[in-house]
A and B are shown apart, each in its own frame.
Chain A
Amino acid sequence: DTGVSQDPRHKITKRGQNVTFRCDPISEHNRLYWYRQTLGQGPEFLTYFQNEAQLEKSRLLSDRFSAERPKGSFSTLEIQRTEQGDSAMYLCASSLVKTGGYTFGSGTRLTVV
């Protein structure tokens, strides 16, 4: 287990298409987080899971966005009907409950054309 893995690294899609990203956290980490980062900004919180339960969703997460972590291991983030404003780096992170900082993945860079 070498850390948090995200797939794909890059995704170019046409406006209106659906996209899905995957995150594999560090295996013993029971918390998984999704963030979005645009150029020159800090990561913006989207949602997080503890095991398979989605505990919080940001208001940034419109109804076009959905995240799942069905077995408490990997997670997927789907964006439906993509818009140009969705272009960003989507970062996944994982941690243990209440201890330590987050370990981030390398991110998925989404470009909507």
Chain B
Amino acid sequence: GENVEQHPSTLSVQEGDSAVIKCTYSDSASNYFPWYKQELGKRPQLIIDIRSNVGEKKDQRIAVTLNKTAKHFSLHITETQPEDSAVYFCAASKDNNDMRFGAGTRLTVKP
């Protein structure tokens, strides 16, 4: 089955700096890669996703890149703000089936 690894496990940045979180996946058949943000005590919420037919997707300050050959994908957050502080999870699946999640990255944005 799919195995997703995520790093770093914790990331601390100054407000306004960029943050990058990286994930690798094992199953070359995976074709859907979402990112979720989970604030303390709340449900995971989808923030951006990418499919295997594109290499990059951007939504305002958030972007995701995908390298299918290397089987890794990354989340980039620019101009970070304190409200970006949360745990971020990457995930991978084939056709939106049983999605497998990384272990999470705790991002802290210091004002």
Chain A interface (Cβ < 8 Å from any Cβ of B): 31, 33, 35, 40-45, 48, 55-56, 58, 91, 95, 97-107
Contacts and interface: CB of A to CB of B under 8 A. Distances in A.
A106 B41 CA distance: 9
B43 A91 contact: yes
B99 interface: yes
Nearest to A106: B43
A104 B101 contact: no
A91 B44 contact: yes
Contacts of B46: 100-103
Contacts of B6: 42
A35 B36 CA distance: 14
Contact of B102 (A42, A95, A100): A42
Given A91-B43, A101-B49, A102-B46, A42 B101 contact: yes
| Residue from the set B43, B91, B97 with the largest chain A CB neighbour count within 10 Å | B43
Contacts of A101: 34, 36, 46, 49, 96
B7 to A, nearest CB: 13
B49 to A, nearest CB: 5
Contacts of A45: 98-101
B26 to A, nearest CB: 14
Contacts of A48: 97-98
A43 B101 contact: yes
A56 B98 contact: yes
B101 A58 contact: no
28 contacts: A31-B96, A33-B99, A40-B103, A41-B103, A42-B6, A42-B91, A42-B102, A42-B103, A43-B44, A43-B89, A44-B101, A45-B100, A45-B101, A48-B97, A55-B97, A58-B98, A91-B44, A95-B96, A97-B96, A99-B96, A100-B49, A101-B34, A101-B49, A102-B34, A104-B43, A104-B45, A105-B43, A107-B43
